[in-house]
Structure formats: structure tokens, C-alpha cells
């Protein structure tokens, strides 16, 4: 946290520290005048050590976050550019302290920047690196290589290392830094030619809002989400991948892929297998009923296996139940089926006993009121009659 802030401050410091701001340096920390004479790298390290020793008991070699925080007491208001301020804001936001991130902080930003500058003065090298990252990202979305150039100009290898140490809260563009940051989860700015990587979403939002969207309007803040992508999701796993509309980036692929995965896909039909299976019988039943009109009664199957209309599908029991089913179903029915519906499909034996029309003749059953194949299909369609009807036998398809 603090490290980030300090880093930002250093960054701001550095650019201007290059020439004029040695004073600032000195002002920031009395001890640093000595450092200034020395190389930046050494000065930074030394300065850190001094500051740390002065304020804290942190290891001299590495600037502990706390160290930096303490150091900043100076501010250079006039020299601070908006970008720098923004950068500081972003960095502060990166620090994850809600207070810092809160909007009111912006007003205080100059102060914060100033404070950081002090720290930045200490770590001119690291600060420069931090600054360049900001500068490039903000002022001119130059490609990351330019950033490296800046570093190179400063000639601070230690800067690299230092930043890498602190990068956990800072924004970096180099792959190495990305890899480092990636361990914790990072967000990459998708703004053209920017590609800034921040470890904090809020920071990235601010980065985009300030540097790219160029303002703090609510709308722009909302749009921020569309201009960065999460390149590592360890700490941000809870956050969904933000969709990026206009900018095409490799990151989107992952995003889209993540979106695509949830899609159940066509095999969802398997889930419907049960409904299908349930519905299937009905449909099959329909077909079968149609076939029944064509030809087959179960008995018929046994009776006339050679008949073209015979079917082997229907079990005898089903014949009993089948007619009852349609009664509950509403669908277009053929005549025969209507008959089926009208008649609850009593078995022939039942018909024998129950048939009211004839009580006197036990031998020959009376003619049922039910339509038979002859009536249903007519003489001209005799092929469609049931076998019994064709043979002038008791109709098996429409038993009374």
C-alpha cells in the first residue's frame, strides 16, 4: 500500500528531479542531499536506508512500504501536472486503502502527490520508473517499449529490481512485471497503445477514467470497466470478466471463453430426455394409432402375421389401455379414433355380456353400433381394413 504511494511519489519526483528538483529532494528529506550527489540508484538505496532508519527499522536495502510513507511531507504543487496527480491517485487507489480511494481524496491529491514526491525524491530511480509508467500511460499512450526506453535513459537497473519489489501495488507494463503482478492478479488497460497493468481494479478504473476517459464523470467511470481486462484472477476471481466492446485484445478471448463455457450446449437435450421419453410414447402412440387404422390390432398380429398391415409393436395389454388414453387427450383425430374415444374399448368378451342390443342370441352377437373398418375406410379402401374385416370376420381393430 504505502509502497505504492511512495512509488508514485517517486515517479513524479523523478522526472522533474532530473534537473531542477534536487532542491525538492533536499527539501523532502534533509538527509538526502548527500544522496543527490551520488548516483540515483545508490542515492535511492541510501536514501531509503536513511529514511527507514530515521523513521523505522526497516532493512536498508529495500524500501519498506512504511518507509516511503513516512518520508513524504513535501509537496510541489505548481509542478505537479494532472497526469502526475492522476498517477498518484491511481497508485494511491492501488494501495487499496478505501480512504484513499474515496472521491474526496482527489481534492487532496496534490497533497498526497506532494507527500509522495518526497518519498519519490528519496527513490528517484524507482520513482522515475513509476513515473514513466504513468507518463506513458497517461500523456501519450506510447507502447510499452517507450517505457523501457525511459528506464534505460535513467539507466537504473536497480530501479527495475526495486520496482519489481514494490510492483505488487504498482502498475507496470513490462512482461516481467506482469508476471510478477500476475501472481496476485492484475488488470491490463486495453486502451490502444497503453497496455498498462495494474494490480488493483480500482486503480485501473481510475487509470482509465483519468488518463483515457479524461475525466471523473460518472459515465466515464462506468465505462472504465470496458477498457481493462483482468489478466490474472487470483484475487479478483470473484469479479466477472469485464466485457470489452470496442477493443480487440487477446484478453477478450479468455473472457469470451469463460463466457462460452457456461453455455450448456446442445447436449442439454439429454436433460430433456426424460420429458422426451415421456412425450415419446405419446407421439409413438399417435403413430401407432394411425397404424392401427391402417391395419393392426394386436390380435391381428398373431392372427395374420403375413398381413402387410400387421404390426408387432403392440402388446395385447396395450390394446386394452390404448383407447382410454385418447379420451384424455385433445388432438385431431380420425374417425376411427373418435370411435375409440367414444368407446372406452371394452373387450370383446365384455361386449358380449354388456351389449344391450342383443340378449336373446348368445350364439351370434348382435351388430355393434361401432363403426368397423368397412365404414371407416369404405369398400374402396379395403386394403386398409383389418384382416378380420377383410375376411368377413369380427373386426379386430374396432371391437365392440
Q: Is 381 in the site for DNA (CB under 7 A)?
A: no
Q: Which is nearer to DNA, 302 or 324 (CB)?
A: 302
Q: Is 172 helix (H, G, I), strand (E, B) or coil?
A: strand
Q: Are 150 and 128 in contact (CB under 8 A)?
A: yes
The least CB distance from residue 290 to DNA, in Å, is: 19
Q: Which is nearer to DNA, 242 or 387 (CB)?
A: 387
Torsion sign (Cα): 17, 19, 22, 24: negative
Site string for DNA, 351-380 (x = CB under 7 A): ------xx-xx-xxxxxxxxxxxxx--xx-
Region near DNA per CB under 7 A, out of 9-17, 55-63, 187-195, 301-309: 301-309
Q: Which is nearer to DNA, 92 or 294 (CB)?
A: 294
Q: How many residues bind DNA (CB under 7 A)?
A: 35
Q: Is 205 in the site for DNA (CB under 7 A)?
A: no
Q: Which is nearer to DNA, 206 or 372 (CB)?
A: 372
Q: Which of 15, 22, 2 minimizes the C-alpha distance to 65?
A: 2
The least CB distance from residue 315 to DNA, in Å, is: 19
Cα–Cα dist 150/146, whole Å = 6
Q: Is 346 in the site for DNA (CB under 7 A)?
A: no
Q: Is 294 in the site for DNA (CB under 7 A)?
A: no
Q: Which is nearer to DNA, 189 or 292 (CB)?
A: 292
Q: What angle do CA 32, 36, 39 make, to 5 degrees?
A: 125
Q: Is 238 in the site for DNA (CB under 7 A)?
A: no
The least CB distance from residue 373 to DNA, in Å, is: 7
Q: Are 220 and 107 in contact (CB under 8 A)?
A: no
Query: E strands of the chain, at which residues?
Result: 187-189, 197-198, 228-230
Interaxial angle between packed helices 157-166 and 124-138, expressed in degrees from 0 to 180 and rounded to the nearest 10: 80
The least CB distance from residue 303 to DNA, in Å, is: 6
The least CB distance from residue 345 to DNA, in Å, is: 13
Q: Is 305 in the site for DNA (CB under 7 A)?
A: yes
Q: Which of 181, 151, 154 minimizes the C-alpha distance to 165?
A: 181
Q: Is 342 in the site for DNA (CB under 7 A)?
A: no
Cα–Cα dist 244/194, whole Å = 15
Q: Which is nearer to DNA, 342 or 393 (CB)?
A: 393
Torsion sign (Cα): 110, 116, 121, 126: negative
- Which residue among 26, 96, 303, 325 contacts DNA (CB under 7 A)? 303
Q: Are 86 and 139 in contact (CB under 8 A)?
A: no
Residue with cell 530501479: 159
Q: What's the burial of 248, exposed, middle or buried (CB within 10 Å: 0-12/13-18/19+)?
A: exposed
Q: Which is nearer to DNA, 290 or 383 (CB)?
A: 383
The least CB distance from residue 351 to DNA, in Å, is: 8
Q: Which is nearer to DNA, 58 or 297 (CB)?
A: 297
Q: Is 304 in the site for DNA (CB under 7 A)?
A: yes
Q: Is 122 helix (H, G, I), strand (E, B) or coil?
A: helix
Q: Is 394 in the site for DNA (CB under 7 A)?
A: yes
Site string for DNA, 246-285 (x = CB under 7 A): ----------------------------------------
Q: What's the burial of 118, exposed, middle or buried (CB within 10 Å: 0-12/13-18/19+)?
A: buried
Interface residue list for DNA (CB under 7 A): 303-307, 357-358, 360-361, 363-375, 378-379, 387-395, 399-400
Amino acid at each position: 500500500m504505502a509502497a505504492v504511494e511512495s512509488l508514485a511519489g517517486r515517479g513524479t519526483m523523478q522526472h522533474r528531479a532530473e534537473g531542477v528538483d534536487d532542491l525538492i529532494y533536499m527539501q523532502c528529506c534533509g538527509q538526502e542531499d548527500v544522496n543527490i550527489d551520488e548516483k540515483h540508484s545508490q542515492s535511492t538505496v541510501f536514501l531509503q536506508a536513511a529514511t527507514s532508519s530515521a523513521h523505522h527499522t526497516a532493512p536498508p536495502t529495500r524500501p519498506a512500504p512504511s518507509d516511503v510513507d513516512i518520508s513524504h511531507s513535501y509537496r510541489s504543487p505548481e509542478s505537479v501536472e494532472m497526469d502526475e496527480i492522476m498517477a498518484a491517485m491511481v497508485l494511491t487507489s492501488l494501495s487499496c486503502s478505501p480512504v484513499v480511494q474515496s472521491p474526496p481524496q482527489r481534492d487532496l491529491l496534490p497533497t498526497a502527490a506532494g507527500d509522495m514526491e518526497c518519498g519519490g525524491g528519496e527513490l528517484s530511480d524507482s520513482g522515475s520508473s513509476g513515473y514513466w509508467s504513468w507518463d506513458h500511460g497517461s500523456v501519450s499512450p506510447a507502447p510499452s517499449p517507450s517505457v523501457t526506453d525511459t528506464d534505460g535513459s535513467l539507466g537504473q537497473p536497480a530501479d527495475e529490481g526495486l520496482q519489481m519489489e514494490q510492483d505488487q501495488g504498482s502498475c507496470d507494463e513490462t512482461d516481467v512485471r506482469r508476471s510478477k503482478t500476475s501472481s496476485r492478479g492484475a488488470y491490463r488497460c486495453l486502451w490502444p497503445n497503453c497496455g498498462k497493468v495494474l494490480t488493483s481494479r480500482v486503480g485501473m478504473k481510475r487509470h482509465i477514467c483519468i488518463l483515457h476517459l479524461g475525466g471523473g464523470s460518472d459515465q466515464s467511470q462506468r465505462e472504465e470497466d470496458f477498457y481493462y481486462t483482468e489478466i490474472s484472477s487470483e484475487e479478483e476471481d470473484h469479479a466477472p470478466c469485464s466485457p470489452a466492446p470496442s477493443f480487440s485484445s487477446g484478453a477478450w478471448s479468455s473472457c469470451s471463453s469463460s463466457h462460452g463455457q457456461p453455455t450448456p450446449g446442445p447436449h442439454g437435450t439429454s436433460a430433456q430426455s426424460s420429458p422426451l421419453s415421456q412425450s415419446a410414447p405419446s407421439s409413438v402412440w399417435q403413430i401407432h394409432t394411425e397404424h392401427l387404422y391402417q391395419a393392426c390390432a394386436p390380435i391381428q398380429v398373431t392372427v395374420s402375421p403375413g398381413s402387410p398391415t400387421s404390426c408387432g409393436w403392440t402388446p395385447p395389454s396395450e390394446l386394452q389401455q390404448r383407447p382410454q388414453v385418447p379420451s384424455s387427450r385433445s388432438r385431431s383425430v380420425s374417425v376411427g379414433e373418435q370411435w375409440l374415444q367414444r368407446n372406452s374399448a371394452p373387450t370383446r368378451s365384455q361386449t358380449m355380456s354388456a351389449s344391450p342390443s342383443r340378449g336373446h342370441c348368445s350364439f351370434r352377437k348382435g351388430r355393434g353400433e361401432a363403426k368397423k373398418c368397412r365404414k371407416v375406410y369404405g369398400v374402396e379402401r379395403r386394403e386398409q381394413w383389418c384382416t378380420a374385416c377383410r375376411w368377413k370376420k369380427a373386426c379386430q381393430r374396432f371391437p365392440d
